[in-house]
Amino acid sequence: MEQITYHNSVMLIQSIEGLNIKSDGIYIDLTFGSGGHSKAILQYLGQTGKLFAFDQDQDSKQNLINDSRFTFINHNFKHIKNHLEFYGIKKVDGILGDLGVSSHQFDCKSRGFSYRFDCPLDMRMDTRKSLKASDILNTYDEAELIRIFNQYGEIHNASKLAKLIISERKIMPFEMSQDLINRIKSCIPKHKEFKYLAQLYQSLRMEINGEINALRSLLEQSIALLNPKGRLVMISYHSLEDRMVKIFMRSGNFDDKIEKDMYGNNLSPFSLINRKAIVPDEKELNENNRSRSARLRIAERRQDGK
């Protein structure tokens, strides 16, 4: 059995400060992982405070915190409202999300998240689900492959890659990572191999785990869940996710339409705490490679917002 190891939480201090924690408040950690953010939140909570942590990965249960104020929910955060209602929670004071893949998922060979290892093409965050990376490569039609390569990976030759994959899978299905890499070499630009493979793996992973739809659902639910002056704190690693978070925090929708009343007052449900994304400092970049593409955004629920 592979050892379960996790690295440091990204922008831990900045994100905890962004939550502006009240000792008796109710807070949500959307992506429990190693429990780094959750442990930090608990340090600021009093005896009546509560913390609910979500994580769909079964491995994360090995990091559970023995604290009466802490409740772990082993499910995707897209169902946040339903799960909180089960515990009698209708409003919260802060929501924190550290999106993307944990260091453990990247480093665990059997999970298939990294092209560094020759392993089954899996990439499921929730291993209870059936769809794997190999299923996408072996069953998606050309248009579907082009869509995910373009949208999630920003792969410049998405059409050529999709055509090659469809041609190759007729000879033999894709099952292992090294086999995939060897069979698409003609599409991989010289001297940019690592970047290209990272983009390909990212696109497959985001499709398998429905990451964009889950984020969209979470953001929409956050408006009703957050108390006035409650904080929404999101760390993203992909430009598409960061753009979604930025637009939603600014306008309360994904069309970036800012509604105003007859007097010209902004009716957005949020006010921005930081107008520009917060990025890791040089010290963190040197100590934690995972933080290099991280973007932190913070918004506060308006008292008078819709």
Spatial CA neighbour of 67 closest among 83, 86, 51: 51
The pLDDT score that the predictor gives to residue 287 is 82
**Contact between residue 170 and residue 135 where contact means Cβ atoms under 8 Å apart:** no
Phi, psi of 181, deg, nearest 5: -60, -45
CA 267 – CA 254 distance, rounded (Å)? 15
Specify the pLDDT at position 102. 67
Say which DSSP state 249 is in.
Answer: H
- pLDDT value of position 52: 98
What residue ranges of the chain have pLDDT lower than 50?
1-6
Euclidean distance between CA atoms 143 and 53, whole angstroms: 37
Q: Which domains does the chain have, with CATH numbers?
A: 12-103+211-301 (3.40.50.150), 127-208 (1.10.150.170)
- Which one, of 108, 21, 20, lies nearest residue 60 by Cα? 108
pLDDT at 247: 97
Neighbours of 25 (CB within 10 A): 22
Name residues whose C-beta falls within 8 Å of residue 75's C-beta, 6 or more positions apart in sequence. 54, 56, 83
CB 26 within 8 A of CB 52: yes
> Which residues of the chain form beta strands (DSSP E)?
26-29, 50-54, 70-73, 92-98, 226-236, 270-272, 295-301
- Report the pLDDT value the prediction gives residue 5, as an integer from 0 to 100: 47
Q: What is the pLDDT of residue 7?
A: 57
Residue 150 burial by Cβ neighbours in a 10 Å radius (0-12, 13-18, 19+) = middle
Q: What is the pTM of this model?
A: 0.91
Sheet of strand 26-29: strand arrangement? 70-73, 50-54, 26-29, 92-98, 226-236, 295-301, 270-272
**Alpha-carbon dihedral sign for residues 78, 80, 85, 90:** negative
**Whole-Å CA distances, 127 to 41, 193, 204, 208, 234:** 28, 29, 15, 11, 25
